[in-house]
Amino acid sequence: MSDADAGRTMVDIKAVHKSFGTLEVLRGIDLEVRTGEVTVVLGPSGSGKSTLLRTINHLEKVDSGWISVDGSLVGYRRDNRATARRASGKGGGGGRAGKLYELSEREVLKQRTQIGFVFQNFNLFPHLTVLENIAEAPVSALKRPRKDALDRARRLLDRVGLADKAGAYPKQLSGGQQQRVAIARALALEPKLLLFDEPTSALDPELVGEVLDVIKDLALQGTTMIVVTHEIGFAREVADTVVFMDEGRIVEQGAPGDVLDAPRHDRTKAFLSKVL
Ligand code: ADP
Ligand code: MG
């Protein structure tokens, strides 16, 4: 990120609703994330945190509202040509001119390469070595020369402190090491944005710190991130903005010192009293 980018809007979420059957999981989400900032999302289980992350890279489609990442609508493209087919149920999002058209699956996949996603359960390819796990997507999705992808994978492994594990298979690593590989793998596509869904929840307590340290390091380098976590200490130290979600809504958001130390809403207070 260049200094000129800092402070620009990276993610813009407007009036997003999402239901699964009759269950409304996101009930009107508005959120803005600026370039170079870290947003930590807190909230009880079932409040819609994972669904929100998944809508940002179009693993879930929104029912209404819209999301843009770095100025591009997620899953849609705006076009003024009158002959193109109009996407059903969409129109006028963002108040700008032009109709909305749904991206093809291929276009969605391309868009998704710009957004890194780190899951709770690492999701590494078990049959590939650590190095191959990291180099796979740059070769297959970005058509990078294999040698370049492997060189870059080595540098990324070094960055997450695992230079000596290049030839290991995931099952030979601890959970913390696997998650650091998963982070390196997400970085390999040089994403504009990184999403983390409870990246340390599946780890033994003594392994949490090494993963949080890697994420902290990325934050210091200006990586734009949205992190769903219950690690309040991490939120306090690293977040620019803390968002508290409950029942599909953002109940409260602000600087960590405000939301964590002086929450205004009873539901935030109740949640924090349980996790602190
Ligand atoms: P959180 O991450 O905050 O725990 P989720 O976004 O995973 O919350 O889930 C919110 C609600 O949506 C939960 O009640 C969950 O069971 C439901 N849900 C999530 N994904 C699906 C799905 N694919 N189909 C049906 N219900 C879902
Ligand atoms: Mg979740």
In the chain, DSSP finds a helix count (H) and a strand count (E) of 9, 12
Listed in sequence order, the residues at least 6 apart from 30 whose beta carbon sits closer than 8 Å to its beta carbon are: 13, 14, 15, 16, 250
Ramachandran assignment for 140, one of left (phi > 0), alpha (psi -120 to 50 degrees), beta (any other): alpha
Q: Which atom of ligand 1 is nearest to the CA of 47?
A: 3
State in Å: Cα 52 to ligand 2 middle. Answer: 9
Q: Which atom of ligand 1 is nearest to the CA of 60?
A: 23
Cα 97 to Cα 95: distance, rounded to the nearest angstrom: 7
Within 6 A (CB) of ligand 1 lie: 20, 23, 25, 43, 45-51
Residue 85 pLDDT class (50, 70, 90 cuts): very low
Cα 133 to Cα 237: distance, rounded to the nearest angstrom: 31
Q: Are 226 and 41 in contact (CB under 8 A)?
A: yes
Count CB atoms within 10 A of the CB of residue 115. Answer: 23
For tokens 């769903």, name the residue.
228
Mean of the per-residue pLDDT values of the chain = 92
Rounded to two decimals, the pTM is 0.92
Q: Which atom of ligand 1 is nearest to the CA of 248?
A: 10
Count CB atoms within 10 A of the CB of residue 78. Answer: 14
pLDDT over 70, % of the chain: 92
Sheet with 249-254, strands from edge to edge, namely 115-118, 193-197, 225-228, 38-42, 241-246, 249-254
pLDDT for residue 88 is more than 50: no
pLDDT digits (tens, 9 = 90+) for 57-75: 999 999 999 999 999 999 9
pLDDT digits (tens, 9 = 90+) for 108-163: 999 999 999 999 999 999 999 999 999 999 999 999 999 999 999 999 999 999 99
